Amino acid sequence: MTSGKPTMIEFQDVHKYYGDYHALRGISATIKAGEFFSLLGPSGCGKTTLLRTIAGFEGISSGVVLIDGKDVAGVPPNKRPTNMVFQSYAIFPHLSVAQNVGFGLRKDPRSVADKARAVDEALAMVGLSGYGARAAHALSGGQRQRVALARALILKPKVLLLDEPLSALDKKLRENMQVELIKLQRQVGITFILVTHDQEEALVMSDRIAVMFEGQIAQLDSPERLYRLPKTRAVANFIGTMNFLSAQILSEAGGQVEVEAQGLGRLQLDAEKQVTGTPSTNGATIGFRPETATLLFDGQQASDRETMATVEEVVYYGDMTYYDVLLDGTTAPVRLSMRNVFGRPVLDIGTRTRVGWSPGALVLFR
Amino acid sequence: MSEPLKRPRFWGSQAASGLALISPTALYAILLLAAPLAATLVYSVMTDGYLTIIPRFQLCNYIGECHAQLADGTMAPEAYLGAWSDPIVRTLMARSLLVSVLVTAATVLLAYPVAYFVSFSVDASRKSLWLFMITIPFWTSYVIRVFMWNVMISRTGVINSVLQGLHIITDPLQMSFTLQAMVITLAHAYAPFAILPIYVALEKIDRSLLEAGQDLGETRFATFLRVTLPLSMTGVIAAVLIVFIPTIGDYVTPNLIGGGKIPMIANMIEKQMLKADNRALGSAIAVSAMLVVGLVSVIFLALNRRYLKGPT
Amino acid sequence: MKIPVLRIYTVGYLLFLYCPIVILPIFAFNNSTAVAFPLQGFTTEWFSNVFHDAVLGHALKNSLLVAASTAVLATVLGTLAARANTRYQFKAAGPLMALIMLPMVLPEIIMAMALLVVLLSVGIPLSLFTIVLGHVLVCTPFAVAILTSAFQSLDKSLEEAAYDLGEGPVSTFRLIILPLVMPGIISAMLICFTISLDEFIVANFLGSGEPLLSTFIYGQLRFPKNVPNIMALGTLLVGVSITLLALAEFFRRRGLARTGAKDSGGFL
């Protein structure tokens, strides 16, 4: 993983105001060299603003931004060791592909031949060999994105910034590009910082993710930890789906917490591995992911605990089926996901069924 | 720790750059447009002198009788009438208003179908070609076009000779020196000014709105009246103003087509400013004309304000 | 079959618009001083008169000089204003732009007259220079309109991308912005040139004894004998104007093609 690697970017209590609007509210974080880092959050959370403060297109109102150990306050974008791939790709329409890619080399002291070679290498790296002479405005969206990548990477920046680079592509193309970006990052080895609102994308590509809401970082963690142990209900809801059941904390002792959960009865949870969040006035909540509970068909044994439920809704997805079931003793349905197995029927609405679950897969939000 | 800066400094900011960039053009407009207009206003309340203007405040250029100041400092014995007191000026003003209103109405009404045609019945790829064809006449010399109209409608001109040659009439029609001729010429001159704003407004109308209406059972004409027309009103209003305001200031057409026999207010202004050297009075007439125009425009806008509100 | 009423109407309307311009060349070659049918035979006498008229030649030179100066000045001012308005936000933008665009809706006589009064009071003598001043006032709004549209079709990220890749504001303008708005600039210059060439009212008010084409024509119209000469001159003028406009349109379209933007039809 990335621990032990040197820090490339550091935010120290960064605030930013647009007039009276508090866009960034005290961001403190570090991004390590060579990692694939994502800024994830809904529209308006400040992720793009934060990215642009790294690039130098936005200033900050207070705090410190360090790139490779240096405070970059007052340093304009053209002097920072970063390069950006813009959301609209910003390909210069009046230039050819090769001219676009080689644009940043204008002041480079190398010979024309050397520069041309560098352009060819960059194009090869993004899979656009031979496209050099094409007019830039005649390219497809996916091709433009690659040109933007080549244009940025040819300058060998220490950090590559990507502002929602895949949002304009259709699903198939997006999935292909996700894999290509990962490969590219490993090949080049520099820090990639990606801004996206698509949590699946962030989970697939990142070494670590910073989830942002309303100008603050809610949680900064690896994808697995974010998924398994989200710090707040908001983060839990944003990443994947999470089912919530109300619960009451009965007692805490010796690293164990005893809880009475709606529909699931009395449980014991590990305080360190399963309990999260800050105490709220709404009372505690038990959360679990759809794939951690199973519908038990006739003859199947529960591997741990078991309870009864009624099927309320069935959503068929091809490779998965989602069942919304109402557990006995609860008031709102929870969602379970089942992989479709060849030969196994899909249950009807109204069916009474057994549900297998395990206390070890639960999360307790205080 | 100190409060983070809420408002960035001005210098070096966006606003400063923008202001700096626009300043040459803005200064030019202020010096050569705003200042002279203001000066005109000031002159209109001053005294006319011999080849100069004397900074002595008087309102008689607008109402009442004025005396010009002679070169030797005494007041001239003959009085001249202020703008609103002079029946000639009032007549001219009324006539100019009438002509402008007629021209505007004719131009906008005739222009609307053309704008509609290009917006709705023409292929997207051909639209700019049609617009180009429509605007070309506008870019050619105004004087020449007016002159050509004059030539065409004269007693021995093209129209008469064609009509007589085809034996539709025996005696030539008297078209020159008439009000109708002036209206037609001006309508011709300002046509593209009317077509373009209406076209732009029509283009902005979401076509699916119209289809929705038809889907609900309306006839095409009803859709036009209830949906298209109201939504295009901003364009119509713009067209009205863009034609009305400059038309009042036109004096070439009255001179040529009207033969000097049907002068409009602008001719009067020209006379006072250039020929009679009474700049105070000329300014007063000009300001009065602009006030009337402004008043009519404001009334027009107020009557139509429900079309101007809301998102377009 | 459905009668294309609107199409017929529009074509008829266009005929009405083009009437005077079309008649012009017909009678410019007509062997008669009367502008009426039937035609009297072909002649190029009027055209040769035009080419040999010394005063006219002088007026033509003046007009070209004024038009060229106006085109350059108005385009420069228009570019600055359009760029400032599209790229930056500042509170004074609204009122200043309204003032700059005002000449489009003011009667020319009012502007010309106001300017005349001020120039005379300040003691500046009337000359070709003062005509240029007036023409720039009239033409700048058109340049602003054309260039605003050109600048608006520029993606703001293009500028940021240039900075990101190492360029400064000046080199960004030179390498990225200028090439992309160049068709708009050329368009604006051609349009301003044409407007100035054909403009009469300001030229009449702010000119001195030096003749311009438009004032020259106006003066000649009183003499029926010279009418055919004027027709010939008019034909040439109209021909030049249309050519320049076609060029301006060509450049506007080429500009759109280069940036891949959509054609919204015309200078709006």
Tokens of B301: 């806008």
Higher pLDDT, C111 or C264: C111
What is the distance between the alpha carbons of residues A51 and A193, in angstroms, rounded to a whole number? Answer: 8
What is the DSSP pairing of strand A275-276 with strand A363-365?
parallel
Distance (Å) of CA A194 to CA A203, B49, C263: 12, 76, 34
Nearest to C176 among A82, A92, A107 (CB): A92
CB of C198 within 8 Å of a chain B CB? The answer is: yes
What is the DSSP pairing of strand A36-40 with strand A208-213?
parallel
A touches which chains (3+ CB pairs under 8 A)?
A: B, C
Those of residues 124-153 in A touching chain C at CB distance below 8 A are: 137-138, 151-152
| Percent over 70 (pLDDT), chain B | 85
Q: What integer pLDDT is reported at residue A5 of this predicted model?
A: 79
- Tell how far CA C48 is from the center of its chain: 27
| Percent over 90 (pLDDT), chain B | 1
pLDDT above 70 (res A153): yes
Query: Residues C16, B159: contact at Cβ < 8 Å?
Result: no
CA distance C257 to chain A (A): 9
Tell me the mean pLDDT in the region B103-125: 87
Residue B210, C-beta contacts closer than 8 angstroms, at least 6 positions apart: B223, B227, B228
* Plot region of B167 (φ>0 → left; ψ -120 to 50 → alpha; else → beta): left
* Residue of chain C minimizing CA distance to A103: C165
Least confident of A66-80, A250-264, A325-339, C214-228: C214-228
Residue whose pair of structure tokens reads 């990443």 in the numeric block = A239
Q: What is the pLDDT of residues B217-254, one digit of tens each?
A: 778 788 888 888 888 888 888 888 888 887 877 766 66
Tell me the mean pLDDT in the region C213-241: 80
Residue whose pair of structure tokens reads 């508090």 in the numeric block = A22
* Residues of chain C contacting B14 with CB distance shorter than 8 Å: 88-90
What is the distance between the alpha carbons of residues B251 and B263, in angstroms, rounded to a whole number? Answer: 8
- C110 to B151: CB separation less than 8 angstroms, yes or no: no
Q: What integer pLDDT is reported at residue A83 of this predicted model?
A: 95
Distance (Å) of CA A327 to CA A245, A293, A301, A331: 10, 12, 18, 8
Residues of A contacting chain B (CB within 8 angstroms): 15-17, 19-20, 59, 61-63
CA nearest to A82, candidates A6, A126, A24, A31: A31
Which amino acid is residue B208, in one-letter code?
A: S
Q: What is the pLDDT of residues C190-202, one digit of tens each?
A: 889 988 988 888 8
Instruction: Report residue B258's pLDDT band, with 50, 70 and 90 as the boundaries.
Output: low
CB of C89 within 8 Å of a chain A CB? The answer is: no
pLDDT above 60 (res C39): yes
Higher pLDDT, C159 or B172: C159
Q: What integer pLDDT is reported at residue A281 of this predicted model?
A: 65
Nearest to A17 among B1, B2, B5 (CB): B5
- A55 to C179: CB separation less than 8 angstroms, yes or no: no
* Residue of chain B minimizing CA distance to C90: B15
3-class SS of residue C97: helix
* Plot region of A215 (φ>0 → left; ψ -120 to 50 → alpha; else → beta): left
Question: Cβ of A38: how many Cβ atoms within 10 Å?
Answer: 27
CB of C107 within 8 Å of a chain A CB? The answer is: no
What is the distance between the alpha carbons of residues A54 and A157, in angstroms, rounded to a whole number? Answer: 13
Q: What is the pLDDT of residues B65-74, one digit of tens each?
A: 777 777 777 7
- Picking from C89, C153, C165 by the largest number of A CB atoms within 10 A of its own CB, the best residue to mutate is C165
Query: Residues B44, B61: contact at Cβ < 8 Å?
Result: yes
Tell me the mean pLDDT in the region A101-118: 92
Higher pLDDT, C13 or C253: C13
Residue A255, classified by CB atoms within 10 Å of its CB into exposed (0-12), middle (13-18) or buried (19+), is: exposed
Least confident of B224-233, B300-309, C179-188: B300-309
Mean residue pLDDT across chain B: 77
Residue B73, classified by CB atoms within 10 Å of its CB into exposed (0-12), middle (13-18) or buried (19+), is: exposed
Length of chain B measured in residues: 312
pTM flag (> 0.90): no
CB of C110 within 8 Å of a chain B CB? The answer is: yes
- A92 to C161: CB separation less than 8 angstroms, yes or no: yes
| Percent over 70 (pLDDT), chain A | 98
Residue C53, classified by CB atoms within 10 Å of its CB into exposed (0-12), middle (13-18) or buried (19+), is: middle
pLDDT above 80 (res B265): no
Instruction: Report residue A284's pLDDT band, with 50, 70 and 90 as the boundaries.
Output: confident
CA nearest to C136, candidates C70, C78, C199: C70
Tell me the mean pLDDT in the region A30-40: 95
Q: What integer pLDDT is reported at residue A282 of this predicted model?
A: 66
Question: Cβ of A182: how many Cβ atoms within 10 Å?
Answer: 16
Higher pLDDT, C14 or B188: C14
CB of B6 within 8 Å of a chain A CB? The answer is: yes
Q: What ranges make up the beta strands (E) of A197-293? A: 208-213, 216-221, 243-253, 256-261, 265-270, 275-276, 284-288
What is the distance between the alpha carbons of residues C101 and C109, in angstroms, rounded to a whole number? Answer: 16
| ipTM score for this prediction | 0.81
Instruction: Report residue C268's pLDDT band, with 50, 70 and 90 as the boundaries.
Output: very low
Q: What integer pLDDT is reported at residue B260 of this predicted model?
A: 63
Tell me the mean pLDDT in the region B88-103: 82
pLDDT above 50 (res A57): yes
pLDDT above 90 (res A34): yes
CB of B271 within 8 Å of a chain C CB? The answer is: no
Q: What integer pLDDT is reported at residue C264 of this predicted model?
A: 52
Mean residue pLDDT across chain A: 90
| Percent over 90 (pLDDT), chain A | 55
Instruction: Report residue C52's pLDDT band, with 50, 70 and 90 as the boundaries.
Output: confident
Q: What integer pLDDT is reported at residue C164 of this predicted model?
A: 92
Least confident of A311-320, C13-22, C153-162: C13-22
Question: Cβ of B168: how many Cβ atoms within 10 Å?
Answer: 9
Which amino acid is residue A312, in one-letter code?
A: E
pLDDT above 60 (res C6): yes
pLDDT above 50 (res B1): no
Q: What is the pLDDT of residues A178-200, one digit of tens each?
A: 999 999 999 999 999 999 999 99
Instruction: Report residue B2's pLDDT band, with 50, 70 and 90 as the boundaries.
Output: very low
What is the distance between the alpha carbons of residues B250 and C107, in angstroms, rounded to a whole number? Answer: 7
Q: What integer pLDDT is reported at residue B303 of this predicted model?
A: 79
Q: What integer pLDDT is reported at residue B312 of this predicted model?
A: 42
Query: Residues A220, A210: contact at Cβ < 8 Å?
Result: yes
CB of B14 within 8 Å of a chain C CB? The answer is: yes
Q: What integer pLDDT is reported at residue B309 of this predicted model?
A: 62
Tell me the mean pLDDT in the region A80-99: 92
Q: What integer pLDDT is reported at residue B253 of this predicted model?
A: 67
